[in-house]
Structure 1
Amino acid sequence: MPLDTPNREWDTLVMGRRGTYEPGLEIGITSPCNHLKQYVFSTTLEPVDNPQVEIVDTDPVELVRRLKKEEGLNIWLCGGGNLAGQLIDEIDQLIIKSSPVIASEGVQAFTGNFQPTQLTVTTRQEFSSGARVTWFDRT
């Protein structure tokens, strides 16, 4: 896809510091998705010199609720079981990618004090490699 292709699904990215943003920052990447407005939740990171990236040290639920009221496309929550656990009540759609390969012990999808949430499978795509993408919507 050309770099000037407009966003079709998401225009905003929210992510945690430790497992999502910091690995890129360690190798000099301050904006992993420069075509999106990015919010990084952290109480320890300093602001970065990129207008697309905002370091946020406030309540993620409050920010996401405010963003959902604004004009624009969807919000992408990228990684971070802790952040996902805090935002569980704000998640409208969950997209899970799975692969038939065990690469490590993995990261929990949700951590913290969250309630079980009923979702409905709306789409599933399987690939010849055995990989699968499943879309779940809040019921």
Structure 2
Amino acid sequence: MRKLVYYVAVTLDGFIAAEDGTYDGFLFEGDHMAGINAHYPETVPTQARELVGLQEAANQHFDTVLMGRNTYQVPGGLASPYAHLRQFVVTTRDLDVPSDVEVISSDVTGRVRALKEEDGLDIWLCGGGKLAAALLPEIDTLLLKFHPVAFGRGIPLFDGKADITKFQRADARLFESGVSFMTYERI
């Protein structure tokens, strides 16, 4: 069975983006970038893969990406940000998407459960906070890139009501840049 993996950058005060959905405050330079990109090349947007030398890199962990509408429509975003993955956007609004992006507008939990039953690599939940809170019962693994920055306010890691869910640390990797890459598995 495939896992649903919430893989996201987060501030020290628990935000995945600023209030306007941007994430300019995160560190995009430093030793963490090469280290994380080498291990998770499929999480680099398709158009940026060549710029960082990953155009030929195989998907190692994920073959499917699931994102909320706000994550999909970040300012300056691409119509098909992860063309090298099977792409899903969760929204109840009408959304014009290319043919390689599928919209999930109802029974999100049921659809995620069906995706988890399929053969393949894991499913990457890349945002947003509201979707993560709604899908918390289905999240198997947290891969959190803690950046040494505080936003003060913004979009929380889990934005909404959710039941207490326990995870245990499975791995920790610290970088000279100050970024900590933490892996947690559901208990």
Whether TM exceeds 0.5 here: the answer is yes
Deviations 1:61-107 (A, max 9, x none): 11110000001100000111110011001101001111112245231
Give the equivalent residue in structure 2 for 1:21.
72
Shift of 1:45: 3.0
1 CA distance for matches of 2:95 and 2:178? 41
Does 2:178 align with 1:130?
yes
The residue type equivalent to 1:84 in the other structure is: A
C-alpha contact (below 8 Å) 1:42/1:56 kept by paired residues: yes
Gaps of 5+ in 2: 1-52
Aligned length in residues: 135
2 CA distance for matches of 1:43 and 1:16? 10
Does 2:126 align with 1:75?
no
CA distance 1:57–1:104, change in 2 (3 Å): same
Matched residue SS, 1:125 = strand
RMSD (Å), alpha carbons: 1.6
Higher relative contact order (CA 8 A, sep 6+): 2
Gaps of 5+ in 1: none
Tell me whether 98-107 or 118-127 shows the greater mean CA deviation: 98-107
2 CA distance for matches of 1:104 and 1:137? 27
Give the alignment partner of residue 49 of structure 1, picking from 85, 95, 98. Answer: 98
Shift of 1:46: 2.7
Matched residue SS, 1:87 = helix
Does 2:107 align with 1:107?
no
TM-score, scaled relative to structure 2: 0.67
TM-score, scaled relative to structure 1: 0.89
2 CA distance for matches of 1:69 and 1:45? 28
Matched residue SS, 2:110 = helix
Does 2:106 align with 1:58?
yes
C-alpha contact (below 8 Å) 1:47/1:54 kept by paired residues: no
